[in-house]
Chains A and B, each alone.
Chain A
Amino acid sequence: MKSLRLLNFILLPSSFFLLFACASILSGNDPVVVNAERTTQLAYDTFDTLFTIERANADLIKANAPEVHAAVDNLRRQAPQWLATARTMTKAYKTNRSAENKANLGTALAVLRAGELEALKYSSTVAKTAASP
């Protein structure tokens, strides 16, 4: 369990550090749009990785950490909608870069990031359970 906590300790801050490793935005591009698109792509990849690993080790996860399997399944149900909403709000903002659309986009991205953080939290647990049943 100590090594699991250590994995969580390393993985979560590392994901935040990655955010600061973003490339600077080229002149002429709206930072709001670029960050929204980056966030959406990264969230998709995070979910895809978690779901793939968990599915590949589903029997082990269900047997040893059923609450994790249930939580990941819950993410499976919600992630597509979070991603789709983030894209819809991004496109709405690109069409009309109003304060209201910017706020709506911000809300959609906050929801998406919260889901992504939860996915990151479970990623280390799933990987650890898969490696040491």
Chain B
Amino acid sequence: MGTTAIIALIEAAVAAAMNLFSFATKAAADLKQDAELTPEQEAKLDALIATAPTQDAWKPDAS
């Protein structure tokens, strides 16, 4: 395997690890919720869910 391929591999692994670490951080924050969401927090969550399908990562392949 060439150097370029190895570097690409490492970059992909690092990116995936960073995404998973970011998820762990968000998950921990989610689980710390100890009261009902405020109206503002609800609106923020609803907006996230409503706009999710427009995000590139959430779009399925056209088929």
Binding site for B on A (CB under 8 A): 18-19, 21-26, 28-30, 33-34, 37-38, 40-42, 44-49, 51-57, 60, 69, 73-74, 76-77, 79-80, 83-84, 87, 94, 123, 126-127, 130-133
| Pairwise interchain contact B60-A73, C-beta atoms closer than 8 A | yes
| Pairwise interchain contact A131-B13, C-beta atoms closer than 8 A | yes
Question: Do A83 and B20 form a contact, CB below 8 Å, given A29-B35, A52-B57?
Answer: no
Q: Chain B: interface secondary structure?
A: helix
Q: Chain A: interface secondary structure?
A: helix
Q: Interface 1/0s, chain B 10-44, versus A by CB < 8 A?
A: 00110111011011001110111111110000100
How many B residues, CB 8 Å from partner? 36
